[in-house]
Amino acid sequence: MKTQILFILLACLGVAEAVRITLFMDTEMFIKRAQDIVIADCITEPNQPVFEAGMTYNCKLLYTLKGNREPSNFNVFTIYPLQANKQYLLTNTGGQVGDTDFLALCELSVVPISPYFDIEKLKDKSLTDQLHMIFDLRKYQLQKQLDPLLKEKGLLEKALQDRTDNLYISPGPIEFDTIHTTQATDYSSGKITYLQFGAHQMEWSRQNDNAGYLYVTEPGTQKTTWQWAVLDVNDFEQLRSKPLHVRFMGVYPPIYEQTLTVRQGQLVLLRHGENPKTVYIAKFEEQQEDTVPVRYITVSEKNN
């Protein structure tokens, strides 16, 4: 069973707690894991966060689907955003952070509910049917939001289909004999770690055991200098003897995202703005607290 562990520093107590954030598997497992499932109004905007990884909100309980909580005001600690005067389905899988014993941390533990939803329709239905009604309504709301966005996306893709400045086509099939290795190295007394690709440095930092951040800006500046593309394969051999045809992100007009999240085992294409004809195909290995080994191959016109 796949889970993620979020370590939250309890600054006020001076100790660290491990809080389990479970991934959504199916509704049956969701119900089994839940200690409390309620419908509540969010009363307050986020309190000043005590913990970097989450916020505490004050809510008013309206209806209990699972558990023994009575209608009252209560605090919710969550990593998902809530808005005051909005209604939510909230799920607590147990645990405690400070004085708060309602932790909405698992996937789908915070689901917005339409203000027009009639809670009375939930009565006399099974818990599974109750959740399905709420999930289906939220799915419908999201689809209404997505439809115009997807239409706009399609129009933009059509408008950009002739764009070539972000396009890289290798001179021929990719062939390589050497897989290079680079490792995040401290160049600044423990404050910043860099990966070295050719003559260029790229800043890296750890997100968790399975992912990290690549900073696509020039070290020490806000200027985007690296361009990137993510592949849907995870083995160098899947690229051998095949042409490379990709579109890069980060090309003019500039994208103001400063970081790219990379997962362990993922293949990412990188190129520096000063030398766009040289492409580094990098695979990120096991990411540790202060370093990450990266294997990469170099694709350029001179070695194809």
Q: What global pTM score does this model have?
A: 0.65
Give 3 or 164, the one with higher predicted confidence. 164
Question: What pLDDT band is residue 50 in, cutting at 50, 70 and 90?
Answer: very low
Report whether pLDDT(304) > 70. no
Class of domain 3-144: mainly beta
Residue 236 has pLDDT above 60, yes or no: yes
CA distance 213 to 196: 15
User: Residue 185: what pLDDT?
Assistant: 66
Whether the pLDDT of residue 212 is over 60: the answer is yes
Q: Is the pLDDT of residue 2 over 50?
A: no
Domain ranges, ordered by start, for the chain: 3-144, 167-303
The whole-angstrom separation of Cα 39 and Cα 263 is 35
- Range with lowest mean pLDDT among 57-61, 99-103, 177-181: 177-181
Asked if residues 104 and 14 have their Cβ atoms less than 8 Å apart, the reply is no
> Average pLDDT of the chain?
82
What pLDDT sits at residue 160? 86
